[in-house]
Every structure is written in C-alpha cells, then in structure tokens.
Amino acid sequence: MSNKKKKKLTPVQQEYQAFAKAREPQRPVLANVFKAFIVGGFISLLGQGIADFFIWNFDFTEKTAGNPTVAVLILISVVLTSLGVYDHIAQWAGAGTAVPVTGFANTIASAAIEHRTEGYVLGVGGNMFKLAGSVIAFGVFAAFVVALIKTLFTMLGGA
C-alpha cells in the first residue's frame, strides 16, 4: 500500500494492515518464474517441433509453416481446455501458459464453454470474446496502423 493511502487510514486501520501483511504468505517468486519458463519453453519447443514436421513432411518453408503451426497449437489448446487439462497446467505454470497463443485460445475456449448453456448465439458468441475482444480489436487496429505506415513509406520511397 502506498504511503499516501496509509496516511489517510485511521490508527486502527493501519494496525490491521500491518497485522494482515505480517500473516500474508510469501510467494515463491523464483519457483514460479522457473515453472513459467519450463512450461512456456515446452510450448515453444512443441511449436518448433510442429513447424519442423510441416517443413520436413509437406515441403513447407519456414515462412509458410507458421500459419499451420499456430492452427495446430490453437487446436491442441482448445482440446486440452475442453477436457479440463489446460486449466490444471495453467494453475501450476502460471504465466508460462498465458503468454503464447495457446493462452489466448484457452481464454476464448473457456468463455465459450462456460456460457454454452445460454445458447450458441447469445451465450457462446456473445461471451467468448468479452475477455479477448479488446486484444483482437487492438491487434486489428495495430495491424492497420503498421500497414498504413508501411504503405506511406513505400509510396514516399518509391516516388
């Protein structure tokens, strides 16, 4: 708690804050970082393995193997989410599962599963993008701005 907010508290409230802080369990930060690194690294390793599979078996290039690799990772994430496995992995690993594209797929799939009883249109369709909608909107807007800047530089450089 900041010092400004502490000054506004009564002495009893300040005493309670000190009491609560003394009994708050310490977070194992180093262990959490290690778990996130291991799981996030494993997801990245799995993605690299899938990309290599597409390159070796289907004659994709490194550039063209990216899209099907992401699609397979999203499929795996959604299947694990629907089976309830991804949530257990995420509980243990923390941010290691939230950062890659699999975490984004898990967010959307979890919301869709949670609201399926409300129907497909209003339940699933209306609620699955509540958490992820802002990310999608920002991504689309950022892509538009970057494409606009690139186009302007191309036009100015080519003229």
Per the confidence metrics, is the pTM higher than 0.85? no
15 falls within a domain: no
Of 124, 126, 120, 96, nearest to 110 by C-alpha is: 124
96 falls within a domain: yes
Range of 111's domain? 28-156
94: left (phi over 0), alpha (psi -120 to 50) or beta: left
53 falls within a domain: yes
Q: What is the pLDDT of residues 72-112, one digit of tens each?
A: 999 999 999 999 999 999 999 988 888 778 888 888 888 78
6 falls within a domain: no
14 falls within a domain: no
143 falls within a domain: yes
Q: For the chain, how many structural domains are there in total?
A: 1
126 falls within a domain: yes
Q: What is the pLDDT of residues 133-156, one digit of tens each?
A: 777 788 889 999 999 999 999 988
Q: What is the pLDDT of residues 26-82, one digit of tens each?
A: 889 999 999 999 999 999 999 999 999 999 999 999 999 999 999 999 999 999 999
Of 73, 84, 24, 20, nearest to 49 by C-alpha is: 73
